[in-house]
A and B are shown apart, each in its own frame.
Chain A
Amino acid sequence: MATTQDVGADRRAGPPAPAAPRARRSRFDALLLIPALLLILGVVGYPFVVSVIDSFVKVEGRQHAYAWITANPVYLRIIGRTFLTSVVAVVLCVLLAYPYAYVMVLAGRRIRLVLTVAVLVPFWVSGLVRTFAWVILLQSGGPVDRLLPFLGRDGLLHTQTAVLVGLVQVLLPFMILPLYNSMQSIDRRLLQAAESLGARQTVAFFRVVVPLSAPGAGAGALLVFVTSLGIYVLAQILGSPATSMIGSVVYTQTSQLNNTGRAAALSLSMLAGAVVLIGAAYLLFRLVPGARRAG
Chain B
Amino acid sequence: MKGRVTGEVTGTVTGTVPAAQTGGVTATAKAKGTGTVARHPFAVVAAVVVALLLVVPTLVVVPISFTGKASFVFPPDSWSLRWYGNLFSDSRWTSALRRSLWIALLSSVLATTVGTAASVGLTRWRRRRWAAAARALLLVPVFVPAIVLAIGIYTVFGSLGLLGTVTGFVLAHASLGVPFVVISVTAVLQSFDVQLERAAESLGAGRWAVFRQITLPLILPGVLAGALFAFVASFDEILVSLFIKSPFLETFPIRVYQSVDNDTDPTVAAASTLVLVVTTLVILVAVRISTLRTRRLGT
Contact = CB atoms under 8 A, between A and B. Distances in A.
B279 to A, nearest CB: 5
B287 interface: yes
A30 B128 CA distance: 11
Contacts, number: 355
Given A99-B46, A111-B37, A246-B147, A125 B58 contact: yes
Given A26-B124, A39-B174, A48-B148, A100 B51 contact: yes
Nearest to A223: B9
Interface residues of B, number: 116
A7 to B, nearest CB: 10
Interface residues of A, number: 119
Contact of B58 (A29, A44, A111, A129): A129
Interface in A207-228: 215-216, 218-220, 222-223, 226-227
A260 interface: yes
B236 A127 contact: yes
B137 interface: yes
Nearest to A13: B202
B146 interface: yes
Interface string A29-47: 1111101110111111111
A225 B184 CA distance: 23
A271 B43 contact: no
B242 A233 contact: yes
A55 to B, nearest CB: 9
A36 B17 contact: no
Nearest to B277: A125
A192 B46 CA distance: 23
Interface of B: 1-2, 4-9, 11-13, 16-18, 20-21, 24-26, 28-29, 32, 34-37, 39-40, 42-44, 46-47, 50-51, 53-55, 57-61, 64, 72-74, 110, 113-115, 117-118, 120-122, 124-127, 130, 134, 137-138, 140-157, 171-172, 174-175, 178, 182, 194-195, 198, 202, 207, 229, 232, 236, 238-239, 242-243, 253, 256-257, 260-261, 268-269, 272, 275-276, 279-280, 282-284, 287
